[in-house]
């Protein structure tokens, strides 16, 4: 899942307007950032299944980035980072953002999310097997989050008013189109590198577009 997580990040802006959308997006995507770094380091692995062209999703071994216990650990780290920089409430919001990643991934992944280590119980509802439904859920989460974000912030001028909406629309089209029609990635290392670059660009653009809007009373 990708844009669905961003929907949660957008919604959390309403809960903690002092946090930049760039940080909120980093929080909700943190397990994926850790995953791709761990894949490059050889600690976790991703497999491109032979039937990728029909299944449209990858297979993961990712206990340290996506296991339940690990995600709780990453949430605690996010809490501490938020608390140190913006106080207890912001810490709680960032932790909630990180933990939401596990819940949403649990909905879409097949049973490959471990509760603790690599050889513990694997969970996942497998909504990706009904891909149109999974993508509809993602798009709905993004739209709902964007609606909450736009309701709680204000911006004047074309860029501030529509910049983020245009960016999110393009991102949704790219991600949904990519999952439905893209050919299998050439290699796992290339996939990890390009995913990290894409995520960094998303965080930076979100932070930049977000600072053009303001929250009344903050």
The residues of the shown chain that bind Zn ion, judged by CB under 5 A, are 31-32, 105
Minimum CB separation of residue 106 from Zn ion in Å reads: 10
C-alpha angle 168-17-9 in degrees, rounded to nearest 5 = 40
Minimum CB separation of residue 88 from Zn ion in Å reads: 27
Minimum CB separation of residue 174 from Zn ion in Å reads: 18
Minimum CB separation of residue 96 from Zn ion in Å reads: 16
Task: Spell out the SS3 assignment of the chain.
Answer: CCHHHHHHHHHHHHHCCCCCHHHHHHHHHHHHHHHHHHHHHCCCEEECCCCHHHHCCCEEECHHHHCHHHHHHHHHHHHHHHHHHHCHHHHHHHHHHHHHHHHHHHHHCCCCEECCCCCCCEECCCHHHHHHHHHHHHHHHHHHHHHHHHHHCECCCHHHHHHHHHHHHHHHHHHHHHHHHCCCCCCHHHHHHHHHHHHHHHHHHHHHHHCCCECCCC
Minimum CB separation of residue 124 from Zn ion in Å reads: 11
Q: Which is nearer to Zn ion, 155 or 185 (CB)?
A: 185
């Amino acid at each position: 899942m990708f844009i669905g997580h961003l929907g949660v990040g957008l919604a959390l802006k309403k809960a903690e307007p002092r946090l930049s959308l760039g940080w909120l997006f980093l929080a909700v995507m943190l397990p994926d950032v850790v995953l791709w770094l761990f894949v490059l380091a050889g600690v976790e692995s991703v497999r491109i299944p032979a039937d990728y062209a029909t299944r449209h999703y990858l297979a993961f071994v990712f206990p340290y980035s996506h296991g339940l216990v690990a995600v709780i650990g990453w949430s605690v780290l996010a809490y501490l980072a938020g608390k140190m920089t913006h106080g207890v409430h912001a810490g709680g919001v960032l932790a909630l953002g990180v933990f939401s990643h596990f819940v949403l991934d649990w909905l879409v992944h097949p049973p490959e999310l471990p509760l603790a280590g690599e050889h513990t119980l694997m969970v996942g509802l497998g909504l990706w097997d009904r891909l149109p439904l999974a993508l509809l859920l993602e798009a709905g989460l993004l739209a709902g989050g964007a609606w909450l974000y736009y309701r709680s912030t204000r911006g004047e001028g074309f860029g501030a008013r529509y910049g983020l909406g245009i960016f999110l629309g393009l991102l949704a089209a790219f991600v949904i189109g990519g999952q439905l029609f893209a050919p299998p990635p050439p290699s796992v290392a290339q996939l990890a590198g390009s995913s990290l670059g894409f995520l960094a660009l998303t965080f930076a653009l979100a932070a930049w577009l977000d600072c053009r809007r303001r929250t009344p009373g903050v």
